[in-house]
Amino acid sequence: QVQLVESGGGLVQPGGSLRLSCAASGRDFSTSAMGWYRQAPGKQRELVARMISRGSTNYADSVKGRFTISRDKTRNTVYLEMNNLKPEDTAVYYCHAGLVPPGYWGQGTQVTVSS
């Protein structure tokens, strides 16, 4: 059974930083895509950042220059380093794995940016 477990969310002040982690088990995703999506209240889930096996990355325009995605393929883990966080980054962040839809989803971790 495939499981994706996120960690690292929380409450942070504007301008602060957080690092999200997602550990996958039950399948080897080293040759597949892993990434992060987010969903704010009343909005659709959107791509934040995604990395395929060869290191190619995609970022949402709203997070370019502030967020960095990385992977540890030996540990089947993906990270999201988030810097200079803004209130509009507040959302539930979901880990996703797989190249072919629907792929696999984690349970989500809440990120709240507020003073």
- Model confidence pLDDT, tens digit, residues 64-77: 999 999 998 787 99
- Model confidence pLDDT, tens digit, residues 17-69: 999 999 999 999 888 999 999 999 999 999 999 998 777 999 999 999 999 99
C-alpha span between 62 and 98 (Å, rounded): 23
Q: Does residue 8 surpass a pLDDT of 90? A: yes
Is residue 111 within 8 A of residue 49, CB to CB? The reply is no
Q: What is the largest CA-CA distance in the chain?
A: 40
